[in-house]
Amino acid sequence: MIQRNNSANGNGANARSATSTLTDLPPSGLGPTLSGQERPDPDGIGKKTRRKVVAASFIGNFVEWFDYAVYGYLAVTITAVFFPESDPTTGLMLTFALFAVSFFVRPLGGFVWGHIGDKVGRREALSWSILIMSAATFCIALIPSYNTIGIWAPILLLIIRVVQGFSASGEYAGASAFLVEYAPANRRGLYAAVVPASTATGLLLGSLMAGLLTGLLEPAAMESWGWRLPFLLAAPMGLIGRYIRTKLEDSPVFAELAKEDEAVKAPVSSLFKNHWRQLIQAVGAVLLNAVGFYLILSYMPTHLHENIGISQSAAYVATTVALTTYIGFIFLMGLLSDRLGRKKVLMTASILFVVLTVPAFLLLETGNFLIIVLVQILLGAMLSLNDGTLPSYLAEMFPTRVRYSGFAVSFNLSNALFGGTAPFVATVLIATSGSVLAPGWYLMGAAVIALIAVACSVETSKKPLA
């Protein structure tokens, strides 16, 4: 462990203001000083700087995950465009198989982005990841349909999805590490909650756009050109996000490592050699988030339409309402984890999923719109206990010199094995078992494993960053 002066690295508990929150930043971001310069907090980091970091992390992550999530929300239309000769169930399986394949490259991306983030810097990794994601997403809008170029259409889609997966593997981990390293010591959970909140906001916009296009356009127009519109937005949004990120400096703790030349030459190697226990615990802890996120927030509109039988527009409206409440829950859970500790909140989330998931999916079978909305809000609130706490939990688990790598490798490995495959597995389980409760049982099993992993880990919320 690297020992350093608290006033230099900005992580000492005694150097924090007890009242620092995300909401106490003044509109201008500047404090009144005689010199006209930014007034720093006691830890040496100014409010304006923290505000920029929060904004850059939110906007960049929002752009990445809007790009990545649109595919899931438009799965039914994409099936008709790229797999028109397949029956609906097979075509949907193929569409979600492509969704899953893009996740298999994410562990590789975790190694690459983790190395760059821990060796070169967080800012450099985050700036390039958003640029690659936006370019790849924009290219999806340009792919001709299967009826135009035949088998090359799904092949090109697969290639671009792999590029998307590689890019996304560096985003969530990097933004979380960045925020935790800039946050006041007693508000790391709240600051890190910006990452899942921005992810949910990207999903929300994707759901709104998918619902709006589906409601306004005829199926023929939707399949011809309507589905391309959300993907075209990727280019301008990505350029804005990259510009904001290039204006930031690396975090104080990483800057100190670089100054002292203490950054390890091979962070991923050091991770597996010296922190393998934490890595295993982290992979298990992420499991609930990986399965829950993609089943509840991405796959659910397809499930409601294809398996429950409600209209596409109604499914998007229900998901949109749930996402809106979910964003608010995220910040509350981040704040709660600062007060109660990461382990208590994460274990509570797992227990609730073990007890309530299958009954919740059973209620979805009623087909009643109001019940469906309420169930999705409940599932979202349960997931926010995990999602709002996980970024700070994972970032605190690893020391600064391998923090990006540890987070990126564990998060992306679990998502590759269980997150990206969740919609595909859910579709296969329903098709083979004939039960629409199958995804609920799958999610419950993920919660059991996550509960065990978190229970075996060490509480870190009240400790200075290593």
* Per-residue pLDDT at 281: 94
Closest Cα partner for 177 from 111, 238, 121?
Answer: 121
Helical spans, DSSP H, in 10-151:
47-73, 75-82, 88-104, 106-119, 122-140, 146-149
pLDDT at 102 over 80: no
* Per-residue pLDDT at 257: 73
What's the number of CA atoms in the CB half-sphere (13 Å) around residue 264?
20
What residues does each domain of the chain span? 45-455
Contact predicate 129/64, CB 8 Å: yes
pLDDT, one tens digit per residue, over 31-79 is 333 344 555 565 567 788 888 888 888 887 887 778 667 777 787 788 8
Lowest mean pLDDT among 8-17, 73-82, 132-141, 394-403: 8-17
CA 410 to CA 453: how far, in whole Å?
Answer: 13
Cα separations in angstroms, 135 against 31, 177, 193, 209: 39, 24, 27, 20
Q: What does the block give as tokens for 114?
A: 């983790």
- 88-97 — which CB contacts under 8 Å span 24+ positions? 88/306, 89/427, 89/431, 92/302, 92/306, 92/427, 93/424, 93/427, 93/428, 93/431, 94/154, 96/299, 96/423, 96/424, 96/427, 97/424
Confidence of residue 263 (pLDDT cuts 50, 70, 90): low
31 or 177, higher pLDDT: 177
Could you give phi then psi for residue 27, rounded to 5 degrees?
-55, -40
Give the class (CATH, top level) of 45-455: mainly alpha
Residue type at position 60 = G
Average pLDDT of the segment spanning 162-189:
89
Could you give phi then psi for residue 38, rounded to 5 degrees?
-65, 135
Contact predicate 364/310, CB 8 Å: no
Cα separations in angstroms, 262 against 45, 119, 140, 254, 346: 22, 10, 41, 9, 33
pLDDT at 5 over 50: no
Please give the torsion angle defined by the CA atoms of residues 169, 174, 176 and 179, in that order, rounded to the nearest 10 degrees: -160
Closest Cα partner for 10 from 39, 46, 37, 35?
Answer: 46
Contact predicate 231/70, CB 8 Å: yes
Lowest mean pLDDT among 72-76, 78-82, 125-129, 275-279: 72-76
Q: What pTM value is reported for the model? A: 0.78
Residues belonging to the chain = 466
* Per-residue pLDDT at 17: 38
108-142 CB burial, b ≥16 within 10 A, e <16:
ebbbbbbbbbbbebbbbbbbbbbbbbbbbbbbbbe
Give the chain's mean pLDDT: 83
Contact predicate 171/3, CB 8 Å: no
Count of helix runs (H) and strand runs (E) in the chain: 25, 0
Q: What does the block give as tokens for 61?
A: 């992550």
